[in-house]
Amino acid sequence: MKLTGQLYAIVDLGYVKPESAVAAATALLAGGADILQLRAKGHAEREIEELAKRILPLCREAGVPFVVNDYPEIAAQVGSDGVHIGQDDGSLAAVRAIVGEQMIVGRSTHSPEQAKAALEEGFDYIGFGPLFPTPTKLGRPGIGMENIPSVQTEVGSKIPVFCIGGIKRANLPEVLAAGASNVVIVSDLLCASEIAVAANEAKHRLLAIEAAR
């Protein structure tokens, strides 16, 4: 499965209770998320695996790639389309040894140097950020938007670059004007009163801005 589309949404158990995770996934998909990730920091692996097994068929039905954050073993076990790892989560080769050659493997990057290194190592896509400080990723400073154009040119011409961190429906115009084309939006969607409506607004805003370029 290939990663296409501009809106990468995350079911993050920092915002959604485990018992609401499937409903949140359903709503994000209904709203038009192009990629869906399950992110569950500090939860038991068994619980994450159970949720992943329930969310995977929803993504399959929607034709949307499903990505598991942080746990290559769980990704391999449930047969997700992708796995996402951070800077401290080891090499691509170590992940490939667990998930095989077919799975999409993404890397979080926090600087242009890390972005280029991830491309050279062979990752299938990157997250680039946090652009702005965000409660979803506490303790990480915002890196700003000034390096988006160079990362788009040098990395984004080869693999998808998803800008992340503090991105909301309201600031999509400025983030895309700064050069981004694909984004991850977490709290702005999950904290909305209607997750599906919020995701749909984000999706349409992205498509409209892209179409007007």
Give the annotated binding-site residues. 37-41, 69-70, 89, 108, 134-137, 166, 186-187
Q: Cβ distance 83 to 77 under 8 Å?
A: no
12 binds Mg ion (CB under 5 A): no
Residue 205 is among the residues annotated as catalytic for this protein: no
Question: Cα–chain-centroid distance for residue 161?
Answer: 10
Cβ 137 to ligand TZP, closest distance in Å? 4
What are residue 10's DSSP bridge partners?
Answer: 37
- The residue from 12, 34, 49, 70 that contacts Mg ion (CB under 5 A) is 70
Using omega within 30 degrees of 0 as the cis cutoff, is the peptide bond preceding 65 cis? no
Nearer CB in complex with ligand TZP: 134/152: 134
Contact partner at residue 86 from Mg ion, ligand TZP, none, CB < 5 to 8 Å by partner kind: Mg ion
84 binds ligand TZP (CB under 6 A): no
Show Cβ contacts of residue 189 under 8 Å, excluding neighbours closer than 6 positions. Answer: 9, 28, 31, 195, 198, 199, 202
> Number of residues in contact with ligand TZP, rule: CB under 6 A?
14
Tokens (6 digits) for 202: 């984000």
Cβ 30 to Mg ion, closest distance in Å? 27
**Sequence ranges of the binding site for Mg(2+):** 70, 89
Cβ 85 to Mg ion, closest distance in Å? 5
Show Cβ contacts of residue 88 under 8 Å, excluding neighbours closer than 6 positions. Answer: none
Nearer CB in complex with ligand TZP: 14/18: 14
User: Measuring CA to CA, which residue among 191, 65, 85 is closest to residue 135?
Assistant: 191
Q: Quick one: 127 exposed, middle or buried, by C-beta within 10 A (0-12, 13-18, 19+)? A: buried
State the DSSP H helix or E strand holding residue 20, giving kind and residue range, or none if neither: none
Binding segment (CB under 5 A) for Mg ion, from list 87-95, 133-141, 161-169, 187-195: 87-95
Residue 137 is among the residues annotated as catalytic for this protein: yes
67 binds ligand TZP (CB under 6 A): no
DSSP state of 110: -
Binding segment (CB under 6 A) for ligand TZP, from list 46-54, 145-153, 185-193, 203-211: 185-193
Tokens (6 digits) for 186: 């977490």
Give me the residues that bind Mg ion (CB under 5 A), please: 70, 86, 89
Q: Which positions are annotated as active-site residues?
A: 39, 108, 137
Give me the residues that bind ligand TZP (CB under 6 A), please: 108, 127, 129-130, 134, 136-137, 164-167, 185-187
